[in-house]
Amino acid sequence: MDLPGAAGKERIGGFSPDLERIVSLAPDLVVASRDGTDRAAFERVRALGFPVVVTGGTTLEGIFGDITAVGGALGAEGSAKELVASLRGRLGRARERIAHSSRRRALPSVLILIWPDPPVVAGPASFLGDLLRQAGIPNAAGEAGEWPRVSFETLARWDPGLIVRPETRENAEAFRQAFGANPLWKLVPAAREGRVVSIPGNWLERPGPRLIDALEALADRIGTSLP
């Protein structure tokens, strides 16, 4: 799922961007992700004299701070504050819906599976772990750190009530093969029984405003999965 506003815009690459193309575009501002962009690349851009804002929020509050910082660098402080206020409001309403569901029945523990083989999950120290915590959703990964690679035996021991995974063009085949052909996933009841929720990767994997879209989608699923 691509950003609608990005249609027709020139691409400059991924983790290691094309520096020559960036220079040719002569941007007024470069926004880089601390974890999603090669550090040497954005330091080189900065050395060339372009203003650079580096985002690196690992919690919801940190992400809201990144939004405010980018808005300030763009001269759009008011719009950034309005966006953060809107996101906070949506977060609060999602929390209320999830709390309402929890009063009907204990919430399922959720495992956010970033990659299926070898399994990589969102631990409590990641921004997705903070999203679950802020929403009052139990994280099946317990105290596993930030982005741990775990064994199938560990996944079976954690026994998540629900598996949430990002859905992208790039990972579709990997997940299909893992859940369909790898017998080790049969060790995990949620995978074996089809208790798997797919959420667009651009919502789930990026520490930005659309995390709240991911949370709302998850709140919908939790609400409909309880009697």
pTM, two decimal places: 0.89
Those residues with Cβ within 8 angstroms of residue 7's Cβ, 6 or more apart along the chain or in another chain: none
CA distances from 117 to 107, 175, 184 (A): 27, 8, 10
Q: Give the number of other Cβ atoms within 10 Å of residue 206's Cβ.
A: 16
pLDDT recorded at residue 3:
63
Per the CB < 8 A criterion, the answer to whether 107 and 98 are in contact is yes
Phi and psi, residue 223, nearest 5°: -65, -40
d(CA 22, CA 201): 25
| pLDDT tens profile 1-27 | 456 667 777 788 777 888 889 889 999
Q: Which residues are registered as beta bridge partners of 113?
A: 121
**Nearest CA among 126, 183, 153 for reference residue 164:** 126
Per the CB < 8 A criterion, the answer to whether 208 and 63 are in contact is yes
pLDDT recorded at residue 207:
93
Beta pairing, strands 110-116 & 162-167:
parallel
Running along the chain, 227 residues long, what does each successive block of 10 average in pLDDT? 68 82 91 85 89 92 97 96 98 94 91 96 96 96 91 96 94 93 94 94 93 95 66
Encoding tokens for residue 119? 């399994």
Q: Which residues of 91-106 are buried (b: 16+ CB within 10 A; e: fewer)?
A: beebbebbeebeeeee
d(CA 166, CA 217): 12
Domains within the chain, CATH numbers bracketed:
4-81 (3.40.50.1980), 106-225 (3.40.50.1980)
d(CA 165, CA 160): 13
Terminal-residue alpha carbon distance, the chain: 31
Per the CB < 8 A criterion, the answer to whether 133 and 110 are in contact is no
**Nearest CA among 62, 200, 58 for reference residue 125:** 58
